[in-house]
Chains A and B, each alone.
Chain A
Amino acid sequence: MRVPLSWLRQYCDPPLSAREIADRLDLTGTEVSRVERVGVGDPDGFVVGRVELVAPHPNADRLSVCVVDDGSGSPRTIVCGAPNVAAGQTVAVALPGALMPNGEPLAEATLRGITSSGMILAEDEVGIGEDHAGIMVLGDGAQPGAPLAEHLPIADDVLDLEIAPNRPDCLAVYGVAREVHAATGAPLGVDPTTYDAEPSGEDSAEQHASVKIADPDVCLRFTARVFEDVKVGPSPLWLKACLTAAGQRPISNVVDITNYVMLLCGQPLHAFDLDRVRGASIVVRKAHDGEKMTTLDGVERTFQSPTALVCDAEGPSGIGGIMGGAVSEVSGSTTRVLMEAATWVGTNILSSSSLLGLRTEASTRFEKQLHPDLAMAAQRLAARLLVEVCGARLVPGAIDAYPAPVEPLLVPLRPERVGRLLGVQIPQEEIVAILEQLGFELSGVESGDLLFAVPSWRSADVQREADLIEEVGRIHGLDRLPITLPERPLAVGRLTPAQALRRGIEDVMRDRGLSEVVAYSFTSPGTLERLRLGGEEPVALANPLSEDQSVMRPLLLPGLLDAARHNAARGRPDAWLFESAHVYAPGGGERTDGAGPRGATPAVERHHLAALLPGDGPSGWRTAPSPTDFYACKALLEAVLNAAGVEARVEPEQQSFLHPGRSAAAVANDGSRLGWLGEVHPEVAAEWDLEAATAFELDVDLLAELAPGPAPYRDVPSYPADVQDIAVVVPEETQAAEVESAVREGGGELLDTVRVFDVYHGEQVGEGKRSLALRLEFRAPDRTLTDEEVAALRDRIEARLAAIGGQLRA
């Protein structure tokens, strides 16, 4: 909403600059997106002049030489090209040196031998209108030499406001004036809709036309007035200037008046050429599906129920509350006008306007639900202007179809509630004063409650005590609120067990040198194909931004592969990455178990943790970097399980996107499958331009279910561990997990930890075999183990390994 300050100041004029008014509005809830300067930069040098003489230019057919009284006592010569210039006119003059809207000072100019010291102005030269066909002719009241700015808004500040959807009253200059009044205390001028025009004649509006609301569920009120002897023509300068500054193009006086009234008081109006309303009868009803009409913008549109149509005896003549029809448009030959001011059901306007793809100044106001009282108020203002500007005769009476008049709303306010909600005590007198300033009327006191009558223009958004308290709070001043903290001394925030678990395992990843990434939850069907994922269809977006982001990801791996490729292409092929986030599977539904928020969920969401280890692992002191292998990946996964306190084993399992011989599942002791790990299939890796990579992905929600509660206290080991590294040669097909569990069986309770730390294939090991290196830690809680005890345990381990075909290497 563009509010020219000069227009605003006609109704509320605080002694504040444009910027200061904008700041007050900003803090009290009317957001000012900017303050724009329109017209000339500086009004100095623009004066009223009177044309005393006009003579043809001796050397140019189209130019005149004018003698103009500028009030200085010495008339000046101005060369003018406008055809309408004439002696006796009062005109707008720019003197040499005046700053024109393009920022250039006006210079004296010699035109075909005659020096012009100044310029007689057309509308477009000072931003009042678009007309450049002739000069502006001012009313006779203006005295030569008077500053032009006193007669025409040639320089103005315009407040560009963002109006909240609950405040249709502020889509109006007078509505904003009310806000400025409440926010600054400056007096508020009389409501421009207060006074009506004098009707004349013996007839009445009902004799000229009829109105019927056939569908009261789309139209609450339809008022109509009739005007005769209307002279359609261009609007006077003051009217053009108001509209232009507010961002509306002047069209003709009748149409400009409807726009002016809308901009000033917030009620859209529509003027019909009454002679083109067939049958002079209007019926308001819902559209029949498929019904057609051409709107004012020349577009033929097709309607469907429940869009509201204003129809005459033969069919649609306008879309209710959105745009009029071409059939009854006011034109230069119009003499009889039927003025419509109606109240439409806001929700229906909103849905109709989106259905039609047509939003207008009218629909943006109606969709926020205007009050029916405003319709008749706007008729009064429009009538005064039509009589004054267009010389119209107001036919006595008004047609008013208003099936269910709206009762005034009374809202009780308990004064102590104001302080309780805001946190600051505001005296009752001040509460009453603030609300009265906003137009609320204290209509009584009932057992301590203050009863406030809500003004019609706030009926859409103030209906409850809390709404009144908000009004008091914002005008009293949010900057005056004290700064306090909630008083609940025992309230201490903490993570849920599942959150603590997630944070713990994310820390494990970070501590091992992985970088956390955040990828989009969407992926493309093509990506899932490249992972050779068949089976279950992913959850598809109803309205995707692109094919690349058209399905919800069923696993985290693709985001990690994308990130790895991105970094490999930028010289970081060894970036170890992880992500901790939700994945999505079909099969959502209505939640009714009370364990979480109610409502429908479109997908089953699980929290996953995934890691991708491309390229070479980190190098150690004694080891050169070697390609990250399955065991490094498994060690990382085990560190995660360890942090979660969940025991699991690794079992062979095929995955379409993993190397067939180097893929496995992590299975918890109770048999539930936690996730997968393995080497990314070389063909998949190649799709992402990666040499080789290992990865795992775990269901963290499942992990959280299996995780033990807070760990019981465990003695700090006071006796040292006996650490032994062993190498085991096993047949190629023997899984590491089998080796590990054989070692654990042999080691019994005194074997504290087992970890596979290296794998070796080679000639020394032999064809079809491989060697695993394991680190064993033996520890007793109550003593230092003797060498003999440890040797005995090693013998038992050796025996168990032999049972699975394994052999200890020296």
Chain B
Amino acid sequence: MEVQEPPVYVIVPGKCYRRDSDATHTPMFHQVEGLAVDEDITLADLKGVLLEFARAIFGREREIRLRSSYFPFTEPSVEVDVSCFACGGSGTLADGSRDPLCKGSGWIEILGAGMVDPNLYGFVADKGYDPERVQGFAFGMGIERIAMLRHGVPDLRMFFDNDLRFLEQFG
């Protein structure tokens, strides 16, 4: 938004860093963030876009649900769950046991999102962002987390070992 006047529709993959290292945390990982700011973007539109995304990645039968949440840069903020593709959302596997993937809930958390907090437009007012006139949504998700869920990869660190036996499975 600092370089482009509204409307803006952008999807931004990139590297992120944190001081952590274990099976579910690596010091470097990747995020995809999306931002759509226009005159009439609604929270319902966010729901539609994320449903399309969830179905493209996890299968046509998937549903999503939004849970109210908190992030400092969106208002309202939501966490987004996708219906579990291991158990079909029932929480129970075919043999009657509790599905460990979704911990029996039938839902898996995949990302955080929300409507861009109106305060943010104040920082780019010179580019024509007026919170009375524009509104939009933003979302962000961890690429490796999505890949781990989709492909059942047990350890995040495997993405950075660059072992051909791993890489060639996704060629």
Contact = CB atoms under 8 A, between A and B. Distances in A.
A464 B76 CA distance: 12
6 contacts: A31-B69, A423-B45, A515-B171, A577-B162, A594-B3, A596-B3
Contact of A597 (B2, B43, B75, B171): B2
Interface string A530-559: 000000000000010100010000000001
A521 B45 contact: no
Contacts of B148: none
Contact of B38 (A473, A488, A519): A488
Interface in B67-84: 67-70, 75-79
Interface centre among A420, A478, A543, A594 (most CB of B within 10 A): A478
A422 B28 CA distance: 35
Given A164-B70, A567-B163, A483 B44 contact: yes
Interface stretch (A21-29, A134-142, A400-408): A21-29
Interface string B97-141: 000000000000000000101100000000000000001000000
A26 B105 CA distance: 12
A336 B171 CA distance: 76
A517 interface: yes
Given A424-B44, A464-B118, A515-B167, 16 more contacts: A420-B42, A421-B135, A466-B115, A470-B68, A478-B43, A481-B43, A486-B45, A515-B164, A518-B160, A519-B160, A521-B17, A545-B21, A570-B165, A572-B164, A582-B15, A597-B3
B11 interface: yes
A164 B167 CA distance: 38
A474 interface: yes
Nearest to B49: A485
Given A27-B67, A423-B45, A517 B162 contact: yes
B168 interface: yes
A28 B66 CA distance: 9
Nearest to A517: B162
A162 to B, nearest CB: 10
B70 A520 contact: no
Contacts, number: 146
Interface string B31-60: 000001010111111011101100000000
A470 B118 CA distance: 12
A566 B68 contact: no
Interface string B136-171: 000000000000000000000001111111011001
B65 interface: yes
For chain B, the bracket of interface size reads 35 or more
Contact of B68 (A28, A466, A485, A559): A28
A545 B75 contact: no
A543 B19 contact: yes
A516 interface: yes
B171 to A, nearest CB: 7
Nearest to B2: A597
B95 to A, nearest CB: 23
A469 interface: yes
B8 to A, nearest CB: 10
A515 B65 contact: no
B38 A165 contact: no
A474 B114 CA distance: 12
Interface of B: 2-3, 7, 9, 11, 15, 17, 19-21, 27-28, 36, 38, 40-45, 47-49, 51-52, 65-70, 75-79, 115, 117-118, 135, 159-165, 167-168, 171
Contacts of B51: 483
Contacts of A791: none
Interface centre among A423, A467, A519 (most CB of B within 10 A): A423
Contacts of B167: 515-517
Contact of B9 (A31, A488, A559): A488
Contacts of A102: none
A294 to B, nearest CB: 33
Given A422-B44, A596-B3, A519 B70 contact: no
A80 interface: no
A29 B67 contact: yes
B44 A474 contact: no
Nearest to A591: B2
A482 B80 CA distance: 15
A485 B135 CA distance: 14
Given A520-B28, A570-B165, A594-B3, A467 B160 contact: no
Nearest to A26: B67
A478 B161 contact: no
A159 B19 CA distance: 31
A521 B27 CA distance: 10
Nearest to A581: B15
B40 to A, nearest CB: 7
Nearest to B76: A470
B122 to A, nearest CB: 12
Nearest to A485: B48
B89 to A, nearest CB: 14
B92 to A, nearest CB: 15
A598 interface: yes
Contacts of A164: 69-70
B43 to A, nearest CB: 5
Contacts of B17: 521
B91 to A, nearest CB: 11
Contacts of B28: 520-522
Interface in A131-190: 164-167
A563 interface: yes
Contacts of B27: 520, 522, 545, 549
A258 B115 CA distance: 40
A549 B75 CA distance: 37
Nearest to B131: A466
A421 B9 contact: no
A164 B74 CA distance: 14
A767 interface: no
Contacts of B163: 566-567, 570
A448 to B, nearest CB: 15
A165 B70 contact: yes
B49 A478 contact: no
Contacts of A491: 7, 9
Nearest to B126: A594
A479 B78 CA distance: 12
Given A515-B164, A549-B27, A467 B49 contact: no
Interface string A558-600: 0100110011001010010100001000000000001111100
A685 B21 CA distance: 29
Contact of A478 (B66, B75, B162, B164): B66
Given A488-B9, A543-B19, A483 B38 contact: no
A479 B68 CA distance: 10
A491 B11 CA distance: 13
A279 to B, nearest CB: 44
- A-B pairs with the 7 shortest C-beta distances? A423-B44, A423-B42, A29-B68, A164-B70, A474-B68, A470-B76, A563-B162
A486 B8 CA distance: 12
A522 B67 CA distance: 36
A518 B144 CA distance: 12
Contacts of A598: 2
Nearest to A492: B9
B162 A466 contact: no
Contacts of A520: 27-28, 160
Contact of B15 (A28, A493, A521, A563): A521
Interface string A215-257: 0000000000000000000000000000000000000000000
A309 B7 CA distance: 51
Nearest to B132: A417
Contacts of B67: 26-29, 31, 478
A482 B159 CA distance: 37
A487 interface: yes
A484 interface: yes
A362 B165 CA distance: 52
A378 B35 CA distance: 44
Nearest to B42: A423
Interface centre among A467, A484, A520, A543 (most CB of B within 10 A): A484
